[in-house]
Amino acid sequence: MAEHVDQLTAHDPRRIGPFEVLGRLGAGGMGLVYLGRSSSGRRVAIKTVRGELAEDQLFRVRFAREISAARTVSGFYTAAVVDADADAPVPWLATAYIPAPSLEDLVAECGPLPPGASRWLIAGIAEALQSIHAAGLVHRDLKPSNVLVTEDGPRVIDFGIAAGVSHTRLTMTNVAVGTPAYMSPEQARDSRSVTGASDVFSLGSLLVFAATGHAPYHGVNPVETVFMLLREAPDLSGLPPELAPLVKACMRPAAERRPTPAQIQEELAPHLYASGAGEDDDSRDWLPPVALDLIDRRRGRRGGSVSAGSVQAGAVPAGAPGPQAGPGVPALPQAAPQPVQPPLQGVQQQGAQQGIPHQHGAPQVSGTVPTHVAASAPSGLDPRTGVGPLPAPAGPVAPLVERAVGGRRHAAGPQPEPPLPTAPTPVVQLVGNAVPIGPGVRAADTVAPTHGAEQVPPPGTDWVRRTPQAPQPAAATSARWRPWRFRMSNDVWGTPQVSDGVLFITSFEVHALDIATGRRRFKTRDVAWAVSVADGRVHAADGPHLFTLNSADGAERWRTTLDGWTYSLDTGGGAVVAGTRGGGVQVHSAIDGSEMWQVKDAQQEYENQLAGPCVLGDSVYYYGGGRLRALDLTTGLPRWSFPVGEDVPSHPVLRQGVLHLTSGTRVLALDEASGEQRWRYDAPVVLFTPPTPDDRGTLFVADYVGTVLALDAASGALRWQARTGGRQGADPVLAVDGSVLVGSGDTVYAFDAANGDERWRYTARGELTGAPAAADGLVHLGSRDHSLHTLDLATGRLRWKLDTGGEITGSPVAFEGRVFACSKDRCVYALDAARGTATSRD
């Protein structure tokens, strides 16, 4: 087969459900995507779910519900859902595998489609939407990369998935739903309450892209794109006049005034099925020859036979002459191909950290790997890294023997295709991201790539730090530190970790970013579902394997296979403690990975990072069988156990020889050495958060309805309590500088730690995400309003606010006068804690 499929590694499963796994297609928004084969030989694309999504029971419920509905969708223009298992330890979804280019790739390689082809394409997508909406689903992420183009019509993929994700609590921290350049205004405001009319708006956006090659909204960054979407008319430059009425109807701001998919089909039918049109091969007649050639290559019909794991046809090796221009073969420059500039897709940009210049004249690297197409990577580029070139294919590309007239296909002699345009397109370059992100302020037309360094951004993005072209002394770099941001290729989730001047971010892999410059030092070669950074080492697990790297340079120190799928990691005392599915606790040496001991009695109803085994002092603590157990860290010998019941307890907190924890409605204080109960406090409502001690002998907890309790750490006596709004998170109360901070809904409250008097409250425009971070008299908090807020700790007044292109994920981290935060726009932000995006420091 001609498509690119990565060979399986030792980390990948060999079977998923009833399917044999053949290779790895890439990574989607939910997790890894594999090529599979049924017992009858049918090929499928299998999407696996990321660990933190799998641990969320609300996600599993909605995932099962949406998949059940998606399996009822039977339209011709959709990719059928073949099988799924929402209850598996790693939930998965199998869909029909379609070896075809996405609309994004087709337009990038072949240019905008003629009006006839655009109508034919949109009519097929409208029919797909009819089938999807009839099943009670809303797509929510209809974009060029989610439309595959075959010779007999488009295929819409990934329907029924975004809804299951958008309603889970993890959307606040882990999953981006929707693409700003193609979403509807109502979806930008609240993705959970959209109707089928939102998909119609996206359909109009697709028509603009297909006919012009650019998105209708393309700001300098995702947040500007959303601003334009909510405030401005779409950019219809280059749109053929005959298509404008349909586009404007689909993209009306008022959802109720948009046509339905059935009405769109009725309007397009006279143009597609006029008398004498399409008597023989109606669907194939509409696409231009260069597009049909691309489709044929992706199906393996041209360019020879290439085995799985090899490259697709059309690649040019480094230093080798390109293919000769001829019938049906565009003329290419002799140099290695460069990616074409794609339209802005907000959070969907790919290859940002590789520093790839984008110019006209060759294929582009697309966004997230389409779930059903291994061949979505462009010719000449490695789909795994976005850079190339790759070895040449085994065989010539057959010439076309037909030509396009008026957007239709007619028999003719060999006709040469015009060469692809070679003039460079000016782009905006941001630090850590050489991918164009739209119009606005543009760089010079002749910016040349520099090996090993990102491009310098032009004026207009000045708050983003310009990466130096040569290494700078540490002192000099620190003195000139300026805020920066770094864009990932995939979703960013969790809370950043800081160690030895490096910021560690999880985005499928672990990425190590230099705090001073914002440049990436390294990333892991494997997906990491659980991560712990300590003592100059990065410990990570991709599921069944545990590996450790040097935190300075990413060099692998050791790797081992665990007995089970890892869901949590903790480190301490020179050991790495892994919690594995099914009740396993496995302890390995942090030095060489050798196994120290393991037990298998840690079964609990919900296995997640917050309740996984942990290291405190010289003991490992874990829950299992309704008991909290303490084992010697070195030998694994039991020290004591204490009955806590079936309620999932919090991680314990150790302070001055006493272990504090919450379990159900109880706050417990246990002796570290013996496990004997020192005291117990019974609250009226369930407590989710672990206790937070301060240096004045007080313990703070918050219950489900938002009541903050202050207990005497020595006796458990209630000192005071205060009420906030209802809260459902498990983030702990923050005690700092005599204040107690707690997030509740969209508001953060500050209470006097001594008497519980409310000092101030601050309300954001959306629910808070993660726990606040406080340092140096400042409080930093993220919100679902896509903003990072920084407040004065004493007064609660807003000092500065940064709007990003997505919800802040996890909790911000304050460190040495800087604050770091991750966003669903796939960016990592490093800001001056006191001044935000200020370009100099006091």
Contact 300, 3 (CB under 8 A): yes
657-675 confidence digits (pLDDT tens): 999 999 888 999 999 999 9
Considering the segment(s) 15-318+325-347+372-396 as one domain, its CATH architecture is Orthogonal Bundle (1.10)
Residues facing 615 on adjacent strands = 620
| Structure-token match 């908090």, residue found | 781
Report the predicted TM-score, pTM, of the whole model to 2 decimal places: 0.49
With vertex at residue 804, the alpha carbon angle to CA 250 and CA 739, rounded to the nearest 5 degrees, is 135
Confidence of residue 377 (pLDDT cuts 50, 70, 90): very low
Amino acid 577: pLDDT: 96
Tokens of 757: 């008097």
Strand order across the 638-643 sheet? 614-616, 619-624, 627-632, 638-643
- Would you list the domain boundaries of the chain? 15-318+325-347+372-396, 431-501+764-842, 524-637
Tokens of 795: 């007064």
Contact 512, 504 (CB under 8 A): yes
Residues facing 534 on adjacent strands = 537
Amino acid 369: pLDDT: 34
Nearest-angstrom CA–CA distance, 354 and 24: 21
Tokens of 130: 């009819």
With vertex at residue 821, the alpha carbon angle to CA 818 and CA 823, rounded to the nearest 5 degrees, is 155
| Structure-token match 């606005």, residue found | 440
Amino acid 160: pLDDT: 54
Integer CA distances (angstroms), 431 to 74, 472, 486, in order: 45, 16, 7
Task: Please name which of 555, 526, 553 lies closest in space to residue 541, comparing C-alpha atoms.
Answer: 526
Contact 294, 101 (CB under 8 A): yes
Amino acid 320: pLDDT: 33
Nearest-angstrom CA–CA distance, 799 and 790: 6
Tokens of 395: 């065989």
Contact 738, 694 (CB under 8 A): no
Contact 649, 691 (CB under 8 A): no
> Does the structure show a pLDDT above 80 at 391?
no
Tokens of 593: 């990975």
Contact 507, 826 (CB under 8 A): yes
Q: What type of residue is 10?
A: A
Amino acid 323: pLDDT: 32
DSSP 578-614: EEETTTEEEEEETTT--EEEEE-----SS--GGGS-E
Amino acid 810: pLDDT: 85
Average the pLDDT over 822-830 and give the result. 91
Amino acid 423: pLDDT: 36
Contact 832, 483 (CB under 8 A): yes
| Structure-token match 């669903």, residue found | 824
Confidence of residue 385 (pLDDT cuts 50, 70, 90): very low
- 595-617: buried (b, 16+ CB within 10 Å) or exposed (e) per residue? ebbbbeebebeebbbbbbbbbbe
Q: What type of residue is 588?
A: H
Distance of CA 350 to the CA centre of its chain: 11
Considering the segment(s) 431-501+764-842 as one domain, its CATH architecture is Beta Barrel (2.40)
Amino acid 398: pLDDT: 35
Nearest-angstrom CA–CA distance, 393 and 305: 8
Q: Which of 12, 85, 141, 825 is the catalytic position?
A: 141
Contact 135, 69 (CB under 8 A): yes
Task: Please name which of 251, 243, 164 lies closest in space to residue 199, comparing C-alpha atoms.
Answer: 251
Contact 793, 780 (CB under 8 A): no
Nearest-angstrom CA–CA distance, 73 and 129: 10
Contact 669, 679 (CB under 8 A): yes
234-292 confidence digits (pLDDT tens): 999 999 999 999 999 999 999 999 999 999 988 888 887 653 444 444 456 788 889 88
563 as an active site residue: the answer is no
Q: What is the dihedral of CA 809, 814, 818, 824, to 10 degrees?
A: 0
Residues facing 95 on adjacent strands = 45, 81
Positive or negative CA dihedral for 635, 640, 643, 648? negative
716-761 confidence digits (pLDDT tens): 999 999 988 766 566 788 999 999 999 888 899 999 999 999 999 9
263-273 confidence digits (pLDDT tens): 998 888 888 76
Nearest-angstrom CA–CA distance, 385 and 340: 16
Contact 294, 109 (CB under 8 A): yes
What is the 8-class DSSP label of residue 308?
Answer: T
State whether CATH 1.20.1090.10 applies to domain 524-637.
Answer: no
170-218 confidence digits (pLDDT tens): 333 333 346 788 989 988 887 667 889 999 999 999 999 999 999 999 8
Question: What are the respective helix, strand and coil percentages of the chain, to the nearest 5?
Answer: 15, 30, 50
Nearest-angstrom CA–CA distance, 542 and 81: 27
Looking at 29-95, list the stretches that DSSP marks H as alpha helix, in order from N- to C-terminal side. 51-54, 57-70
DSSP 87-151: TSSS-EEEEE-----BHHHHHHHH-SPPHHHHHHHHHHHHHHHHHHHHTT---S---GGGEEEET
Pair type for strands 627-632 and 619-624: antiparallel
- Highest mean pLDDT out of 189-203, 333-347, 358-372: 189-203
User: Which residue did the predictor score with more confidence, 159 or 12?
Assistant: 12
Amino acid 720: pLDDT: 95
Tokens of 690: 């672990």
> Does the structure show a pLDDT above 80 at 123?
yes
Nearest-angstrom CA–CA distance, 51 and 719: 40
* Half-sphere CA count of 39, side-chain side, radius 13 A: 2
Residues facing 711 on adjacent strands = 699, 718
Confidence of residue 165 (pLDDT cuts 50, 70, 90): very low
Q: What type of residue is 799?
A: R
CB-based burial label for 237 (10 Å; 0-12, 13-18, 19+): exposed
Positive or negative CA dihedral for 563, 565, 571, 577? negative
Nearest-angstrom CA–CA distance, 368 and 400: 31
Distance of CA 479 to the CA centre of its chain: 33
Average pLDDT, the chain: 74
Distance of CA 429 to the CA centre of its chain: 21
Cis peptide before 389 (omega within 30 of 0): yes
> 69-83, 99-113, 189-203: lowest mean pLDDT where?
69-83
What is the 8-class DSSP label of residue 743?
Answer: E
Tokens of 205: 């956006």
Nearest-angstrom CA–CA distance, 50 and 56: 10
CB neighbourhood size of 352 (10 A):
22
Contact 94, 36 (CB under 8 A): yes
Amino acid 570: pLDDT: 94
Contact 187, 194 (CB under 8 A): yes
Integer CA distances (angstroms), 219 to 14, 177, 243, 411, in order: 43, 19, 23, 43
Amino acid 250: pLDDT: 95
CB-based burial label for 471 (10 Å; 0-12, 13-18, 19+): exposed
